A and B are shown apart, each in its own frame.
Chain A
Amino acid sequence: MGSPERPRRDRETVGLAPFWAIAQADLGSLFRSRITYGWLLAAVFIQVVRTLGSGAAVTSSVVPSGLSDLVYIWSLVLIGLAASSVSSEAGELADSIMSKSVTRLDYILAKFTSRVAYALVCFSVVTAVLVGLSLRLDVADYDAAGLAEAVLLVALTLVALTALGVGLSVALRNTVVAMVTLLVLWYAMTFFFPILGLGAISPGSVVGDLPSIVRGSWTAADWESVAGFLAVSAASTALASAYFHAKDI
């Protein structure tokens, strides 16, 4: 069954091919999922109702309110998808992927990339509708740069959530346990971290600051949040990669 002429490919290295193959396959399966369509339709519909049905509302309250939905409610979808990213594949991981020409780093970085890309694409669609409609409100009390900063800060918050989820999915074999752990962690960060003086990495603090950011007031605390969420994302990715590299599959 083998052919006399072996398949053409570089004998020494496969470069980034496995990384892209895994990331694209993962993104493909996420975007074919009914969860994605359901999430996007519901989220977009709610943003449309919020902005069109708000009468004489002001941009600096409608946009933060819409963005806070993503942090408090729609983050549940991301928690489910991120925390199941690796653990749900445990059965087929060795058989269908890792026994091929794939390094541990290829796999884990592809998973981080695809899940973060997915979160950002979905976030962009919902936010585009929200911001697009909010710009037509009666009281447009926004600063363009502030609006962009608010959107980017929430995006960064969701990137950190996704990175934490993929990290937990590597560390915990049981998908349900990973999801529950991430849920508890996320809401603890949201509601209790500010009390503990860890407001810089609290999604709750970010949501509280959004109205002033939209009006153009960017403070040192906001920079701390940027640094904090970047650090959380980087630490989760690094620790999960190191752990995945060392573990038996």
Chain B
Amino acid sequence: MGQKIIEVENLTKIFGEKLIAVNNVNLSVEDGAIFGFLGPNGAGKTTTIRLMLGLIRPTAGEVRVFGERMTPGSSGLRRRMGYLPTNPRFPPRMTPIKYLDFVGRLFNIEREERAKRLSMLLRSVGLLGDASREIAGFSTGMTTRLGLAAALMNDPELLILDEPTSGLDPAGRRSTLELIAELGKEKTILVSSHILSDIDRICSDVGVISDGKSIFSGSMKEMKKSTRSHVIRLELEGDLPKFCDALRKVRWVVSIELRGDYGVDVAFAPDVPMAEAVRQATDLVSSQGLDLISVTSSTSSIEDAFMALLRDEESHGFARAA
């Protein structure tokens, strides 16, 4: 097990004795991980991140970063961190060159080093051509790219990205995700998002938060496994009713549901291994003379796993209330 870079213990934040934004959250991020921080809008992701950076103080609990407690005065810890906020806001009258130089000075990076690093970063995020324009005229995508460059100015060991693909077009989103995956080879990264496919694509570990409470923390594989639903979906071409009749005679099949003109959801008994269910179902497809278009396990979808976690949390909530 790797060293823990972020440890969040019983973290609670109540604003004005009215709003419980974060409620007893626990999670940990290991060295070298790309950790996906998932949750619906308003779940408390940004508040948790701001607590991790020491921008706000916890009502209870604590955040430890690099083994040390994070407080508003922990500027030494923040020197080792990079942060990209959601829809970042920068001094509008500054140019990217001036802003990145300013950030470099905040980290006490030497002048020569600052110049070298900011030109390298501006090239990397594709802002070299706009380096002398005022930030005020930048689009959302350009501002996000500048934010990413600013987050990397001090070459941090830990990178915290809050909704990095928010407001980006498909091409920008794709290149940002590729960039994060590339950065993940040498840094520990925490990426918050409500876009499940983004997290599925780049993250090794995941934490899920809902209504300010953490409802899962572990590897992506564990998350999908924990919400296994014992259903396979087949997409077929051919005589579907005849195939369904044949399936009903199979011992381990619990139920069958037709999905449109091509799809069949087959629920199987929990004691049957997934591989065995898939093997026997595809054998049956061949023997019935149908063309197999695709086979999907519902456990491979992070959307299903995420929704199952939320449903589970909701039912637990009702149980606790009762």
Query: Which A residues lie at the B interface, using CB under 8 A?
Result: 1-3, 6-15, 17-18, 20-22, 25, 29, 32, 89, 91-92, 94-104, 106, 245-246, 248-249
Interfacial chain B residues near A1, Cβ < 8 Å: 120-121, 124, 152, 179, 182-183
The chain A residue sitting closest to B15, CB to CB, is A248
Min CB distance, A95 to chain B, in Å? 5
Q: Contacts A1-B183, A2-B187, A7-B117 hold; do A100 and B107 have CB atoms under 8 A apart?
A: yes
4 extra interface residue pairs, beta carbon distance < 8 Å, beyond A1-B152, A99-B53, A102-B106: A1-B182, A29-B93, A99-B55, A100-B106
Interfacial chain A residues near B216, Cβ < 8 Å: none
Min CB distance, B13 to chain A, in Å? 9
B72 & A104 in contact (Cβ 8 Å cutoff): yes
The reply on B103 being an interface residue by CB < 8 A is: yes
Residue in A8, A10, A21 whose CB lies within 8 Å of B106: A21
Residue in B78, B105, B120, B124 whose CB lies within 8 Å of A21: B105
In the complex, chain B residues 91-107 whose Cβ is within 8 Å of any chain A Cβ? 91, 93, 99, 102-107
Total interface residues on B, CB under 8 Å, equals: 45
Q: Mark B211-241, 1 if CB is under 8 A from A, else 0.
A: 0000000000000000000000000000000
Q: Contacts A8-B110, A101-B75 hold; do A96 and B89 have CB atoms under 8 A apart?
A: yes
Interfacial chain A residues near B120, Cβ < 8 Å: 1, 3
In the bound complex, what is the Cα–Cα distance between A11 and B113 (angstroms)? 15
Interfacial chain A residues near B155, Cβ < 8 Å: 2-3, 6-7
The reply on B56 being an interface residue by CB < 8 A is: yes
Min CB distance, B115 to chain A, in Å? 11
A18 & B88 in contact (Cβ 8 Å cutoff): no
A sample of 28 cross-chain residue pairs with beta-carbon separation below 8 angstroms, ordered by A number, consists of A1-B120, A1-B124, A2-B183, A3-B120, A6-B155, A7-B113, A7-B117, A9-B107, A9-B113, A10-B108, A17-B105, A17-B107, A17-B108, A18-B105, A21-B106, A91-B89, A92-B91, A94-B50, A95-B85, A95-B89, A95-B147, A96-B89, A99-B85, A102-B106, A103-B72, A245-B72, A245-B73, A248-B55
A92 & B76 in contact (Cβ 8 Å cutoff): no
The reply on B186 being an interface residue by CB < 8 A is: yes
Give the 9 A-B CB pairs with smallest separation, nearest first. A21-B105, A17-B108, A248-B56, A14-B108, A101-B79, A92-B89, A99-B83, A100-B106, A95-B85
The chain B residue sitting closest to A2, CB to CB, is B155
In the bound complex, what is the Cα–Cα distance between A102 and B106 (angstroms)? 7
Interfacial chain B residues near A101, Cβ < 8 Å: 75-76, 78-79, 106-108, 154
Interfacial chain B residues near A18, Cβ < 8 Å: 75, 105-106, 108
Interfacial chain B residues near A15, Cβ < 8 Å: 108
Residue in A2, A11, A17, A249 whose CB lies within 8 Å of B186: A2
B55 & A249 in contact (Cβ 8 Å cutoff): yes
Interfacial chain A residues near B53, Cβ < 8 Å: 99
In the complex, chain B residues 103-159 whose Cβ is within 8 Å of any chain A Cβ? 103-110, 113-114, 117, 120-121, 124, 147, 150, 152-155
Interfacial chain A residues near B110, Cβ < 8 Å: 7-9
The reply on B57 being an interface residue by CB < 8 A is: yes
Min CB distance, A141 to chain B, in Å? 47
In the bound complex, what is the Cα–Cα distance between A20 and B106 (angstroms)? 9
In the complex, chain B residues 142-188 whose Cβ is within 8 Å of any chain A Cβ? 147, 150, 152-155, 179, 182-183, 186-187
The chain A residue sitting closest to B146, CB to CB, is A96
In the bound complex, what is the Cα–Cα distance between A18 and B103 (angstroms)? 9
Interfacial chain A residues near B106, Cβ < 8 Å: 14, 17-18, 21-22, 97, 100-102
Residue in B73, B89, B104, B183 whose CB lies within 8 Å of A103: B73
Min CB distance, A242 to chain B, in Å? 13
Specify which of A25, A91, A106 lies most central, judged by the most chain B CB atoms within 10 Å of its CB: A25
Min CB distance, A37 to chain B, in Å? 15
Min CB distance, A247 to chain B, in Å? 9
Residue in A8, A14, A22, A94 whose CB lies within 8 Å of B75: A14
Specify which of B57, B88, B89 lies most central, judged by the most chain A CB atoms within 10 Å of its CB: B89
Interfacial chain A residues near B252, Cβ < 8 Å: none
Min CB distance, B125 to chain A, in Å? 8
In the complex, chain B residues 56-96 whose Cβ is within 8 Å of any chain A Cβ? 56-57, 72-73, 75-76, 78-79, 83, 85, 88-91, 93
In the complex, chain B residues 17-35 whose Cβ is within 8 Å of any chain A Cβ? none
